[in-house]
């Protein structure tokens, strides 16, 4: 286990973006929980939505005088290969876990859990399947409330894989899911709670960029700023369907031959198969120089992601399964309409025909992209509607409040 150092953030800078009621509740619950200690635990410090949220959530809660630490697991390729298989199984795809894979998973959880014997926390929040079995060592942190936060779509999991993870999840004091449809009936999960992930409006990825500055940034990657740009920002993962996005682009170019496509993603330490899907994407793109496939290994940071989204005519998130999809809210926050897969948490963010479109097929996605390219004034109006929806529902301050309320409920239950 290793503690993660985060940047310093000031909650006061966010007050002008939130409603008075949210501000008052944050201050109220922060005062009630003063003196309580919190630990967040996940698998990686970068390269995914969970890490991105924690890089904002942790320092902002500290700014409210909440005593909180963030820990990541020690792991190896063999462990993360197993947990990626588990991730795919829980989202309904992939073979069952073998006995050897289960043993690897349990051994790494045991090793990490042995390192928490000196912890003195009131709440321990475990994110996703990777560290879920650490609950077996809960006696080492006496009196702590354990919370499991699931960020993925578990609506149709492989039954054997779900049974394996359920044996640990049922021992937690509370479970958080993004949507109620991700939980099957009669699971008997403890203190079941639902709230969505959120974006940081003042993080580098979402701060306002001058259009000229954004254009200069993406121009370094070969983008022609005089031509329309489509983009998808996500991991290279079968669930994100990057090759399907290329199919969409090729249909769109028949009417708009000047259009360009950017596929922008980060390679995470807990996703070793991501490289295979990156190479598949590159092969699909072939020698089409109007398709830009770039990652953090090409110099992409949060600033570059911001620039690509800011300069996009349309943002695509053509996921096949999606726990939430922070990039949808990121795009809407910048006033860009989003065409997203009609799945999971994307449906919570996109109101079809209002701030974007929900689609089920490559052909439908291409047609909706064409609609937005043909009607730029309508696209601009949809983007403004989307930004307001994000402000009301999907800013990091809402996530902070949801966690504080849950901690208070668990304290009150004592």
CA geometry: angle at 318 spanning 207 and 271, to 5°? 80
The domain in which residue 402 lies consists of: 2-198+395-413
Q: Would you say residue 78 lies in a domain?
A: yes
- Please report where in the chains the tokens 């006496």 appear, as a residue: 142
Q: How far apart are CA 16 and CA 24, in angstroms?
A: 13
Are 227 and 168 in a shared domain?
no
The answer to whether residue 206 is domain-embedded is no
On whether both 285 and 370 belong to a single domain, the answer is yes
Q: Does 76 share its domain with 118?
A: yes
| Alpha helices (runs of H) in 38-195, residue ranges in sequence order | 49-63, 77-90, 99-113, 159-169
Can you tell me the mean pLDDT for 13-34?
94
- Helix (H) and strand (E) counts in the chain: 14, 13
For residues 408 and 370, state if they share a domain: no
On whether residue 205 sits in a domain, the answer given is: no
Distance of CA 161 to the CA centre of its chain: 22
Cα–Cα distance, 196 to 176 (Å, whole number): 9
Whether pLDDT at 271 is above 80: no
**Percent of the chain, pLDDT > 90?**
71
Tell me what percent of the residues of the chain surpass a pLDDT of 70. 96
Please tell me the distance from the alpha carbon of residue 40 to that of residue 180, in angstroms, as a whole number: 23
pLDDT digits over 99-157, tens only?
Answer: 999 999 999 999 998 888 778 899 999 999 999 999 988 887 778 899 999 999 898 88
Tokens linked to 316? 């695509």
Helix residue ranges, H only, 253-375: 274-285, 302-311, 326-333, 346-349, 362-374
Over residues 155-172, the mean pLDDT reads 91
Mean per-residue pLDDT, 271-292: 83
Answer for the pair 161, 152: CB distance below 8 angstroms, yes or no. Answer: no
Both 10 and 42 in one domain: the answer is yes
pTM of this structure: 0.87
| Nearest-angstrom CA–CA distance, 215 and 377 | 21
DSSP labels, 39-74: EEEES-SSSSHHHHHHHHHHHHHHHTT-EEEEEE--
Q: In the structure encoding, which two tokens stand for residue 283, read together?
A: 């092969």
Q: What is the CATH number of the domain that holds 86?
A: 3.40.50.2000
Among all chains, which residue has been given the structure tokens 């910048």? Answer: 334
Residue 323: predicted pLDDT? 87
pLDDT for the residue 195: 93
Please indicate, yes or no, if residue 223 is contained in any of the structural domains.
Answer: yes
**Domain-embedded: residue 372:** yes
Per-residue pLDDT at 238: 84
In the predicted structure, residue 269 carries a pLDDT above the cut 60 = no
Question: Is 73 within the bounds of a domain?
Answer: yes
* 353 Rama class: left (phi>0) / alpha (psi -120 to 50) / beta: left
Same domain, 141 and 265: no
Q: What is the mean pLDDT of residues 212-232?
A: 96
Q: Are residues 377 and 404 in the same domain?
A: no
Considering its fold, how many domains does the chain have in total?
2
Is 203 within the bounds of a domain? no
Two structure tokens written together for 62: 């500290």
Pair 256, 277 in one domain: yes
Alpha-carbon distance of 257 to 43, in angstroms, equals 42
Tokens of 375: 């009607």
Between 59-63, 172-176, 263-267, 388-392, the lowest mean confidence (pLDDT) is in 263-267
Say if strands 356-359 and 338-341 run parallel, antiparallel, or are unpaired.
parallel
| 249 and 385 inside one domain | yes
Q: Are residues 350 and 307 in the same domain?
A: yes
138 and 59, same structural domain?
yes
Average pLDDT in the chain: 92
User: Does 204 fall in a domain?
Assistant: no
Read off the DSSP letter of residue 322.
Answer: -
Same domain flag for 356 and 261: yes
Dihedral pair phi/psi, residue 94, rounded to 5°:
115, 165
> What pLDDT does 186 receive?
62
How far is residue 112's CA from residue 72's CA, in Å, rounded to a whole number? Answer: 9
Residue 88 has pLDDT above 60, yes or no: yes
Is residue 368 pLDDT above 70, yes or no?
yes
How high is the pLDDT of residue 208?
94
């Amino acid at each position: 286990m290793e503690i993660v150092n985060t940047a310093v953030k000031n909650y006061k800078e966010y007050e002008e973006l939130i409603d008075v009621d949210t501000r008052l509740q944050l201050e109220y619950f922060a005062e009630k929980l003063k003196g309580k200690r919190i630990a967040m635990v996940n698998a990686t410090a970068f390269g995914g939505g969970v890490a991105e949220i924690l890089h904002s959530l942790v320092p902002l809660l500290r700014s409210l005088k909440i005593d909180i630490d963030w820990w990541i697991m020690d792991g190896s390729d063999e462990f993360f290969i197993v947990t990626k298989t588990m991730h795919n199984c829980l989202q309904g795809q992939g073979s069952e876990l073998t006995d050897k894979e289960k043993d690897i998973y349990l051994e790494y959880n045991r090793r990490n859990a042995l390192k928490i014997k000196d912890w003195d926390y009131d709440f321990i929040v475990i994110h996703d399947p990777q560290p879920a079995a650490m609950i077996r060592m809960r006696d080492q942190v006496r009196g702590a409330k354990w919370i499991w936060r699931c960020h993925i779509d578990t609506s149709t999991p492989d039954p054997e894989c779900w049974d394996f993870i359920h044996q640990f999840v049922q021992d937690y004091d509370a479970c958080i899911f993004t949507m109620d449809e991700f939980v099957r009936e009669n699971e008997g999960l403890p203190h079941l709670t639902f709230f969505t992930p959120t974006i940081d409006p003042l993080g580098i990825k979402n701060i306002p960029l001058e259009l000229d500055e954004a254009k200069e940034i993406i121009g370094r990657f070969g983008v022609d700023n005089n031509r329309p740009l489509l983009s998808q920002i996500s991991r290279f993962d079968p669930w994100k369907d990057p090759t399907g996005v290329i199919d969409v682009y090729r249909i769109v170019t028949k009417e708009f031959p000047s259009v360009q496509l950017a596929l922008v993603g980060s390679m995470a330490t807990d996703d070793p198969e991501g490289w295979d899907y990156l190479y598949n994407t590159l092969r699909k793109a072939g020698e089409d120089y109007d398709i830009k496939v770039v990652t953090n290994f090409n110099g992409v940071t949060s600033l570059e992601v911001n620039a690509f989204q800011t300069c996009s005519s349309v943002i695509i998130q053509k996921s096949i399964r999606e726990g939430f999809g922070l990039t949808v809210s990121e795009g809407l926050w910048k006033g860009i309409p989003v065409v997203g897969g009609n799945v999971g948490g994307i449906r919570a963010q996109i109101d079809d025909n209002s701030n974007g479109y929900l689609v089920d097929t490559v052909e439908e996605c291409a047609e909706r992209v064409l609609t937005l390219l043909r009607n730029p004034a309508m696209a601009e109006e949809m983007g403004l509607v989307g930004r307001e929806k994000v402000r009301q529902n999907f800013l990091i301050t809402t996530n902070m409040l949801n966690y504080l309320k849950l901690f208070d409920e668990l304290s009150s239950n004592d």
